[in-house]
Structure 1
Amino acid sequence: MTTETTSPVAKAGPRAMAWRRRRHSALRFWRQYRTRRAGLLGLAALTLFALLALTAPLTVGSDVTGVTDAPGRPLESPSGAFPLGTDRFGRDLLGLLVWGSRVSLLVGLLAAVLSVAIGALVGITAGHFRGAYATVLMRITDWFLVMPTLVLAVALATVMSRSLSTIVLAIGVTTWPTTARLVRAQTLAVESRPYIERARALGGGHGHIMLRHVLPNVMPLVLAQTTLMISSSILSEATLAFLGMGDPNVVSWGGLLQDAREAGAVSSGDWWYLVPPGIAIAVVALSFTLCGRAVESVLNPRLGVAR
């Protein structure tokens, strides 16, 4: 009478083993990421801003954006009642700064995701199919690369309605070429490997190869590019709002700068109207850049980014 012993690894199904590998990969990624001091600093700053944005309805309330029942006088300097002063309508600038983080972060994130999604789709398909299809896509990509991104975004925001979705669309459809170029180069490198030839020989179709083999190998690059694109998307949103292309019904950091310009804060010396939104935009953009560089250095150690 024999007793069969089965190891826990053998008992585990393929799905459980896959989840275990993903969990180990995530832990290994975090162990390497936390050795990047700049990346940890950026992550801490982003966590703080994210908490402020998420808790804004509880801490400042949505009534902070109202102009009819503003609690202060127009353009009050910083005081105990208003730590960052008031705007031209008498609203608390600290509350507006906290509330505006919701719009700026959301628009930056959505625009970056849209931009990277378009770039990844174009890059993977152009690297896989090649031929005339890839040539046409790359020429379109080159055209978007040489055209000024801000000019294209302003043109789209001008002909469409002034809303947050317009800003997201304007930024997303004008900033994808860099991602497309990077993803296409990575796709060409992946498809030159022997296991791709074996997959084709075993009957793997175009969709199988792109989704099961190419996409997992380019995802680290896509992730790093997304973190870097968020910072530029936030800057683009602030620029468009500063130029008057944003939604006038919502409060964002760029919208606060545009209101300060219209109120003549520069000429009158009302620094509290200009400096806090500008610092917030700069700190968030820098934090996303630090996180993106840290992620890029972890996923591609050959870059040798300083810690």
Structure 2
Amino acid sequence: MITIPYAEAIRLWRGGEDVWYKNPKFAAPAWSNFFSATKLPVSFDVDSANGGMTKVVTPGDKGTSRIDITYDFDFSYDAYPQEMLLYFDAKYIAKQPFVSIYLLTPDGRKTRVSDFGVDQKYTFRFSQDEKLKRRLGGQEIMTGLFSTPKTDPAVPLKGKYQLILNVVTFEEGSDLDAELVFHGQVYGLAGTDQARRDLMVPLLWGAPIALAFGLIASLGTSVLTMIIAAVGAWYAGWVDELIQRITEVNLVLPFLNILIMVGTFYSRSIWLILGVTILLSIFTGAIKGYRAIFMQVKESTYIEAARAYGASNTRLIFLYLIPRMIPLLIPGLVSSVPAFVFLEATLAVLGLGDPVLPTWGKIINDAWGNGALYKGYYYWILEPAVLLMVTGLGFAMLGFALDRIFNPRLRGM
């Protein structure tokens, strides 16, 4: 939340190619190479404008100049990259700079990639150059550029490669910079999805969203349930009867179905879903459990003494009845947090999550929609699933520990 503020997280999550152009699609996490015998190429990008590539400018005659941009990189992988792209930023008035692109391989071959004039903003995609594909004998371009010659099947040629850009400008003051984007098959700590988005953004931001939803829902439900049960037990009569009838009706209502209807026909806002969740979770079986205990506490001698000196009903409920239930409230409150966290994820998986916020459930929904398990993108499913399980396990263990602390009868068990 500090390194990626809320507004930035939303911008990144909803961003398109203009935001994530440096990332490959469906890239596994970079650390997956440590657990695989087949080393996949790692993504990177360099820019001549900030010194990432070697740039030499040689002035010529009549306002012309020659710009040589080179970049050396090691390729020691067992698979081919997804794509290579060059983003050009040219400065000129009337005459376009002319660019010639070459790739020098570890075995000394110099492959001519392409020649063309460059607009002020221009993108060159290696894999879409049909002339280059014909020069490579009809092979896939990434395979042809990074393969050992005359091998069948193709085998990646490992070693040091050099990308060479020979640029000629035709005006005084004309200049050109290039950015190389190398789309490998692994990227970052969490990988990427179908929209090139770095999954670290929803994984990191999914935690506070899930915890906020779970904690607010659990706290609101537990506290309101206890207060309503105390009011019904204290006043008895028609008040208690009304609360019990509402509870019995609510117990037979389809909880998840109602939330699905709200998300489908009204709004998918996470805050509206949270409010409906709390409302439907107040009148549950817990009210009957609290009521039974409050009916016993109501007959205690200290309650009779408080009545004798004239304590009001509000004072008796909030200062004498409810405090006796705090030891039972806290463990139950903590233990119920995972249920609400999983509920939010379930709604997101069903396509009813908040349309703006990046959440763990939204990751699973996108993965399912793109056939992640069928296509072997296991990281896409496992990362949010593991975080959900760890969150649930953590709160469950904390709830059990608090139950032993607040309930002395469980300490010896």
TM-score interval, smaller chain? 0.7 to 0.9
**C-alpha displacement of 1:247:** 0.9
Q: Paired residue for 2:13, among 51, 58, 65?
A: 65
Asked whether the equivalents of residues 152 and 174 of structure 1 are also in contact (C-alpha less than 8 Å), the reply is: no
**C-alpha displacement of 1:105:** 1.2
> 1:122-271 counterparts in 2 under 5 A?
122-176=228-282, 177-271=284-378
**C-alpha displacement of 1:72:** 1.2
Partners of 1:303 and 1:185 in 2: how far apart? 21
**C-alpha displacement of 1:65:** 2.1
**C-alpha displacement of 1:305:** 7.1
Q: Which runs of 5+ in 1 are unaligned?
A: 1-53
Q: Paired residue for 2:188, among 63, 66, 82?
A: 82
**C-alpha displacement of 1:194:** 0.7
Match in the other structure for 1:44? none
**C-alpha displacement of 1:55:** 4.3
**C-alpha displacement of 1:198:** 1.3
Q: Secondary structure at the match of 1:173?
A: helix
**C-alpha displacement of 1:288:** 0.9
Asked whether the equivalents of residues 210 and 359 of structure 2 are also in contact (C-alpha less than 8 Å), the reply is: yes
Match in the other structure for 1:91? 197
TM-superposition CA deviations, 1:217-274 (whole Å, max 9, x none): 1122222221112111101111111111111111011111111112221322211111
Match in the other structure for 2:69? none
**C-alpha displacement of 1:304:** 4.2
Query: By percentage of residues, which structure has more helix?
Result: 1
What TM-score do you get using the length of structure 2 for normalisation?
A: 0.57
Partners of 1:73 and 1:106 in 2: how far apart? 32
What TM-score do you get using the length of structure 1 for normalisation?
A: 0.76
Q: Secondary structure at the match of 2:4?
A: helix
Asked whether the equivalents of residues 162 and 247 of structure 1 are also in contact (C-alpha less than 8 Å), the reply is: yes
Bigger radius of gyration: 2
Q: Secondary structure at the match of 2:311?
A: coil
Partners of 2:12 and 2:267 in 1: how far apart? 25
Aligned length: 253
Give the letter aligned to residue 223 of structure 2: A
**C-alpha displacement of 1:154:** 2.1
Q: Secondary structure at the match of 1:74?
A: coil
Give the letter aligned to residue 195 of structure 2: F
TM-superposition CA deviations, 1:161-207 (whole Å, max 9, x none): 21121121132122231432332222122112111111112212211
Partners of 2:243 and 2:412 in 1: how far apart? 32
Task: Tell me: higher relative CO, structure 1 or 2? Use CA pairs within 8 A at least 6 residues apart.
Answer: 1
Asked whether the equivalents of residues 241 and 258 of structure 1 are also in contact (C-alpha less than 8 Å), the reply is: yes
Q: Percent identity?
A: 27
**C-alpha displacement of 1:216:** 1.1
